[in-house]
Structure 1
Amino acid sequence: MLSEISERLVLSPGNFPWLENYSSLIDYGGENDSDFCCEAPPCLQDFSLSFDRAFLPAIYGILFVLGLLGNGAVVAVLLSQRAALSSTDTFLLHLAVADALLVLTLPLWAVDAAIEWVFGSGLCKVAGALFNINFYAGALLLACISFDRYLSIVHATQLYRRGPPTRVALTCVIVWGLCLLFALPEFIFLSAHRDYRLNVTQCQHDFPQVGRTAVRLVQLVAGFLLPLMVMTYCYARILAVLLVSRGQRRLRAMRLVVVVVVAFALCWTPYHLVVLVDIFMNMGALARDCNRESRVDVAKSITSGLAYMHCCLNPLLYAFVGVKFRERMWMLLLRLGCPGQSGHQRNLPSSRRDSSWSETTEASSFQGL
């Protein structure tokens, strides 16, 4: 996904005199040469490249720090309570790990945008695959959390709690296995290539444009549309159940489930819409227009930054809104000997809830489901 940035052909007539004589390289001929076909010269992308060099390193650096701190805190608190983790907690642990691993790749892509790919083919494959594995993992784990809550609240079915303890672990293994399968093109086809015309090294796929289009379509369907459909259906059914009830805790649950779906949709929809336009242009469904291509490239950079921001929002949406998470965070800080936290210990709320992280589970317990 991020390697698309390196796949843009950025040409400038001032730097490449052969472009000025491009028309002389093409024999248009007459009627006798009607069989001759050639492609139009590539669009100049000086503006989009300059924008990427200024925008992407800055936004990736900010997201790297925020995402690593937020998801690192979630992982630390969850691991400190390993014996008491519910199914939702386990999914959230894997989600935080996926988000943390995803943001770990951002500094590499920031350097790539600012200068060029300087890390070799091996790290190109690893970084591209790692990014895509955790991109898929984040979306699929959100769908798993939605389905788990849907069964618990709507059907009063505790799929994981009443089943074998390995069931939730098996679900996570299946999710990671699917993500690894989806990331195989990065392991196989990504590599560092030296473009001697541009005098830069790029981390990009070896397969033709049709292969890149196929990979983008898989990302659109498996990494966005299907998880969004699952989340929307599950949370719509949950809201239908909660709306018939009263009480402040249920109102909090309603707000949370709405925010979860809206955050995912708002963060990722603009990016995938831009990618869809890019797919149409590459397939020839849209007429070729250099100004449009430049605008799409800039829009892709902006919306990708918004999309990766979702990795920073997940800790807030799924953890920090939970009262017991703050309690356990204070307990962890006390255990680590952080000064100034002793005054908070006696003010920590007492809770017997099944899940530490979700107001939705509070509603489930409150209903007696």
Structure 2
Amino acid sequence: MAPEVIERQTLEASDLAFYLENYSSSYDYGENESDSCCVSCPQDFSLNFDRAFLPALYSLLFLLGLLGNGIVATVLLSQRAVLSSTDTFLLHLAVADILLVLTLPLWAVAAAVQWVFGSILCKVAGALFNINFYSGALLLACISFDRYLNIVHATQLYRRGPPTRVTLTCVVVWGLCLIFALPDFIFLSAQYDERLNATYCQHNFRLVGRRALQGLQLVAGFLLPLLVMAYCYARILAVLLVSRGQRRLRAMRLVVVVVVAYALCWTPYHLVVLVDTLMDLGALARNCGRESRVDIAKSITSGMGYMHCCLNPLLYAFVGVKFRERMWMLLMRLGCSNQRRLQQQPSSSRKDSSWSETTEASYSGL
């Protein structure tokens, strides 16, 4: 028997009551007590950090994400008759981001006080997080694969195929995301924690179930799509550099920047989750100081992941020339600018894609 267990068994009743009153479980998804082998560490510091940090961050991301992705979706829908395959994927990505940011006010209130919205909204909000996470990765992988076939193998999968092919691809992506989010619909619920005297939205399965879910997120929602993107763009860049296709290389920059931004936003979160998993498996020593730092790191890096849904619209605005042109055209159509501005628009803005492809070649024209 482990020394920690022996020591806990020799505690007097008053000492045990003190621990139960002032310390909470180190696992935040409602695992059974049998999953923990020893008295838990205090979480006062990490909880206070969440109360101070997360509500402000989520409120800011809600405003920026809703405004930015709303503009992206509006600009794309205004050109829906001539959307390219990449434009269609980016439209679906904007929709997924909008669905995610709509849940941020709920998480802000939960971080500041507790979860007060019941189990149904708990399931929906938790599932939307994972749907956005998986859809973002899979849609970017689809864009990468389409660019790869187009440039490396000169195969235009969507442009020369049936018009519904890109739509069917998006339907498959959303279907997979819903399947991956099924554990949230089934196991998430609003649960009252007597030790913390508060209600939290958390999974009601054991530790092994939580680790299986995190493993699915890591492999299916991050590593595999990232490997697909890395391989596709490495091959694409190699072909363009050899052929000295500088114009086409410049035309790839938005999609490449979007992929890099995705990797930068989500990699820290998965590294922290990996450290937490290794501590649970015993590969890394668990102590209260390290556990507190991991909890805080989870809050910060998950915020970075949420930030990704606000970052894409900024990338489109600052990197995508065609997006800016299409946005100005939409504003002028709505009467927000004058005719002189319309006459100043370059002729390239009248091509068949919002910002991602040109009429001469199916490359991301920016």
Shorter chain as normaliser: what TM range?
0.7 to 0.9
Instruction: Work out whether 1:236 is the aligned partner of 2:234.
Output: yes
The TM-score normalised by the length of structure 2 is 0.86
Q: Which amino acid aligns with 1:290?
A: C
Q: Matched residues in 1 for 2:36 and 2:90: separation?
A: 52
Aligned to 2:81: 83
Q: Matched residues in 2 for 1:254 and 1:260: separation?
A: 10
Aligned to 1:334: 332
Contact 2:123–2:188 under 8 Å retained in 1:
yes
SS at match of 2:347: coil
Q: Matched residues in 1 for 2:72 and 2:89: separation?
A: 12
Aligned to 2:148: 150
Q: What is the alpha-carbon root mean square deviation over aligned residues?
A: 2.4
Q: Matched residues in 2 for 1:132 and 1:92: separation?
A: 18
Q: 1:21 to 1:280 in 2, by over 3 A?
A: closer
SS at match of 1:202: strand
SS at match of 2:155: coil
Q: Matched residues in 1 for 2:151 and 2:235: separation?
A: 9
Instruction: Work out whether 1:219 is the aligned partner of 2:217.
Output: yes
Aligned to 2:30: none
SS at match of 1:20: helix
Q: Which amino acid aligns with 2:121?
A: L
Q: Matched residues in 2 for 1:248 and 1:226: separation?
A: 29
Deviations 1:275-309 (A, max 9, x none): 00111112222222111000000111111111221
Shift of 1:362: 7.9
Contact 1:118–1:201 under 8 Å retained in 2:
yes
Aligned length: 336
The TM-score normalised by the length of structure 1 is 0.85
Contact 1:353–1:365 under 8 Å retained in 2:
no
Aligned to 1:343: 340
Q: Which amino acid aligns with 2:140?
A: L
Aligned to 1:8: none
Contact 1:48–1:294 under 8 Å retained in 2:
yes
SS at match of 1:158: coil
Q: 1:161 to 1:152 in 2, by over 3 A?
A: same
Q: Matched residues in 1 for 2:324 and 2:199: separation?
A: 46
Q: 1:292 to 1:268 in 2, by over 3 A?
A: same
Deviations 1:2-23 (A, max 9, x none): xxxxxxxxxxxxxx9754367x
Among 292, 313, 323, the alignment partner of 2:311 is 313
Map 1:1-369 → 2, pairs under 5 A: 18-20=16-18, 39-246=37-244, 249-253=247-251, 255-318=253-316, 321-338=319-336, 340-351=337-348, 353-358=351-356, 364=361
SS at match of 2:263: helix
Range moving further from structure 2, 255-264 or 73-82:
255-264
Q: Matched residues in 2 for 1:224 and 1:272: separation?
A: 8
Q: Matched residues in 2 for 1:149 and 1:286: separation?
A: 41
Q: 1:350 to 1:21 in 2, by over 3 A?
A: closer
SS at match of 2:139: helix
Q: 1:71 to 1:38 in 2, by over 3 A?
A: closer
Q: Which amino acid aligns with 2:187?
A: F
Q: Which amino acid aligns with 1:296?
A: V
Contact 1:274–1:296 under 8 Å retained in 2:
yes
* Aligned-residue identity in percent: 78
Q: Matched residues in 1 for 2:93 and 2:209: separation?
A: 29
Contact 1:321–1:357 under 8 Å retained in 2:
no
* Structure 1 stretches of 4+ moved >6 Å: none
Q: Which amino acid aligns with 2:109?
A: V
Q: 1:316 to 1:148 in 2, by over 3 A?
A: farther
Q: Which amino acid aligns with 1:265?
A: A
Shift of 1:55: 0.8
Q: Which amino acid aligns with 2:345?
A: L
Q: Matched residues in 1 for 2:174 and 2:313: separation?
A: 20
Q: 1:21 to 1:158 in 2, by over 3 A?
A: closer
SS at match of 2:242: coil
Q: Matched residues in 2 for 1:83 and 1:267: separation?
A: 33
Q: Unaligned 5+ residue runs, structure 2?
A: 1-13, 21-34
